[in-house]
Amino acid sequence: MNVVCIGSGYVGSVTGTAFAVLGHPTTVIDLDQNKVDQINAGASPIYELGLDELIRKTIGKTLFATTSYKAVREADVVFIGVGTPSREDGTVDLSYIKSAARSIGEYLSPDRFTVVVDKSTVPVGTADLVTSIIEEASGQTAEEDFTVISNPEFLREGYALEDVFFPDRVVIGTSHPRARKVMRELYHNLLERVNYEELSKDFTFAYNWNSPKATYFETDVKSAEMIKYASNAFLAVKISYINEVARLCEALGANVLDVAKGMGMDSRIGEKFLQVSSGWSGSCFPKDTAEFLETSRKYGSELSVVKAAVQSNEKMHHFVVEKMQRHLKTLNGKTVGILGLTFKPNTDDARKTQASTIIRQLIDLGANVRVHDPKGMEMFRELNPKLPVGYCDRVEDVARRADGVVLLTHWKEYLQADWKRIQGEMRYPYLLDTRNFLPHKMLVEMGYIYEGLGIGKEL
For ligand NAD, give the closer residue by CB, 12 or 454.
Answer: 12
CA proximity to 132, closest of 123, 117, 142 = 142
> Minimum CB separation from ligand NAD for residue 117, in Å?
12
Least gap, CB of 295 to ligand NAD (angstroms):
15
Amino acid at 339: L
285 touching ligand NAD, by CB under 6 A:
no
The region of 26-34, 180-188, 219-227, 366-374 touching ligand NAD under the rule CB under 6 A is 26-34
State how far the alpha carbon of 270 is from the alpha carbons of 157, 251, 322, 361, in Å. 21, 25, 31, 34
Q: Which stretch binds ligand NAD (CB under 6 A): 2-10, 109-117, 173-181, 247-255?
A: 2-10
* 8 Å CB contact between 276 and 436: yes
Q: Which member of 7, 279, 337, 376 binds ligand NAD (CB under 6 A)?
A: 7
User: Residue 31 or 263: which CB sits closer to ligand NAD?
Assistant: 31
- Residue 157 annotated as binding? yes
CB closer to ligand NAD out of 21 and 39: 39
Q: What is the Cα–Cα distance from 159 to 144, expressed in whole angstroms?
A: 38
CB within 8 A of 251, min separation 6: which ones?
Answer: none
Q: Which of residues 65-104 bind ligand NAD (CB under 6 A)?
A: 81-84, 96, 99-100, 103
Our finding on whether 26 is near ligand NAD (CB under 6 A) is no
Residue 31 CB, shortest distance to ligand NAD, in Å, is 5
Cα 284 versus chain centre, distance: 6
The response to whether 302 counts as a known ligand-binding position is no
Active site residues: 284
Q: Does 158 bind ligand NAD (CB under 6 A)?
A: no
Confirm or reject binding of residue 322 to ligand NAD (CB under 6 A): no
Is residue 283 a contact residue for ligand NAD (CB under 6 A)? yes
**Is 351 a known ligand-binding residue?**
yes
The contact mask relative to ligand NAD for 196-235 (x = CB under 6 A, - = no) is ----------------------------------------
Strand partners, 173: 150, 219
- Residue with smaller CB distance to ligand NAD, 155 or 235: 155
In angstroms, give the least distance from the CB of 84 to ligand NAD: 4
Terminal CA-CA length for the chain: 58
Q: Decide: is 120 part of the binding site for ligand NAD (CB under 6 A).
A: yes
Residue 155 assigned to a binding site: yes
Cβ closest to ligand NAD, residue 10 vs residue 19: 10
35 near ligand NAD, judged by CB under 6 A: yes
Q: How far apart are CA 2 and CA 75, in angstroms?
A: 5
Query: Are 27 and 65 within 8 A, CB to CB?
Result: yes
**Per CB under 6 A, does 440 bind ligand NAD?**
no
DSSP 67: S
Among 3, 5, 11, 303, binds ligand NAD (CB under 6 A): 11
Q: Is residue 236 a contact point for ligand NAD (CB under 6 A)?
A: no
289 is in an annotated binding site: no
Biggest alpha carbon distance in the chain? 73
Residue ranges in contact with ligand NAD by CB under 6 A: 6-12, 29-32, 35, 81-84, 96, 99-100, 103, 120-121, 153, 155, 157, 283-284
